[in-house]
Amino acid sequence: MKKVIVTGVTGQVGSYMVEYLLKNTDFQIFGAIRRLSVPNHKNIEHIKNDRFKIIEMDLSDAHSINHCIEEIKPDFFINFAANSYVGFSWKMPINHFEVNTLAVMHQLESIRKHCPNCKYYNAGSSEEFGDVAYTPQDSNHPLRPRSPYGASKASARQIVKVWRDSYNLFAIQGWLFNHESERRGLEFVTRKITNKVAKIKKAIESGDSFEPLELGNMESKRDWSHAEDFVHGIWLMLNQESPKEYVLASGETHSVKEFVDIAFTEALGGSLVWRGAEKDTQLLYNDTVVVRVNPKFYRPAEVDLLLGDPSEAENGLEWKKSVDFSQLVSRMVRNDIEETNAT
């Protein structure tokens, strides 16, 4: 039985990957997690399968990484674990490089020593493109990050290339544009929006008071897809005859304001009115403010527009998204309404 290690299985993409592998392969799957005093296994607690086993691996500890790889000798290693909250990367830049870059080097070096035929995938990011030179962004776009997070991912990309070229490893880092889902963490803006929408809806229906949703740059544009669509593309990348990296994206760009508009319309229906512009933007529902801009949420350096070109993946991998932008937002809102009503 072939073996695969998936890191970051308590996150959204990692949990979807485990489900995908259980459904589409007969592999033994090892889900790597970091020991926490209060574990959060919400995204995987429903997975009950003899082929899925939790192991402990700390990405800040080279010995921990080497021990797991030496013991398991995986046929595939899929690295989703990362410090991935862009806004927080300015407050913890060194930690982002330790987890997002140095850990990749330790993984590759352990694979080189113990299982050089292992196929390795590291999750790249559209944030590597940062201050974009042209639109849409494809695999030839230069790396121009504008955040410590983006820089850590761009650095990891170079490490992957060096180990691939130097040791003939099957090692790739595909670019993932923004991917969201019902399992997205509450610290990310998309889930922050849908979770707050659900709470505001409940408060309005109950006649309770509530605080408006506060956001930063409403005009910031991103290329959003459902995380579940990306796991299929990643697996196709890993099963090529030779290593080649692709951009996974929807090929559409939408602003944070558009995301908010669809989310509140899904939850509250009509009677929504936008007022103001830029830092004075507000959304009103029946003359009550439900969204307002708070300048404290603006980043030191903003990436204003990200739009991926998925054509290479569509042609080379025969990959295509199945969930569009409106469906993504609606699914997230309905999920949070259900969870909020259950509490």
C-beta of residue 74 within 8 angstroms of C-beta of residue 3: yes
DSSP annotation of 101:
I
Q: What is the pLDDT of residues 43-102, one digit of tens each?
A: 899 999 999 999 999 999 999 999 999 999 999 999 999 887 677 788 888 989 999 999
Of residues 16, 120, 149, 246, which has the active-site annotation? 149
149 tagged catalytic: yes
125 tagged catalytic: yes
Q: What is the pLDDT of residues 22-33, one digit of tens each?
A: 999 999 999 999
Most confident of 153-157, 214-218, 267-271, 294-298: 153-157
Q: Is the pTM of this model over 0.75?
A: yes
pLDDT at position 302, please? 65
Range in 36-40, 122-126, 146-150, 191-195 with the lowest mean pLDDT: 36-40
Chain mean pLDDT for the chain: 94
Range in 154-168, 238-252, 278-292 with the lowest mean pLDDT: 278-292
Of residues 19, 127, 182, 228, which has the active-site annotation? 127
Of residues 84, 125, 225, 330, which has the active-site annotation? 125
Q: State the Cα–Cα distance between residues 319 and 225, nearest whole angstrom.
A: 13
- Answer whether residue 37 shows pLDDT above 60: no
Q: State the Cα–Cα distance between residues 39 and 48, nearest whole angstrom.
A: 17
Question: Where in the chain does DSSP place strands (E)?
Answer: 3-7, 28-33, 52-56, 76-79, 119-122, 124-125, 170-172, 175-176, 179-180, 213-215, 221-222, 225-226, 247-248, 254-255, 272-275, 282-285, 288-293
pLDDT at position 38, please? 54
70 tagged catalytic: no
Instruction: State the number of CA atoms in the 13 A half-sphere of 204 facing the CB.
Output: 19
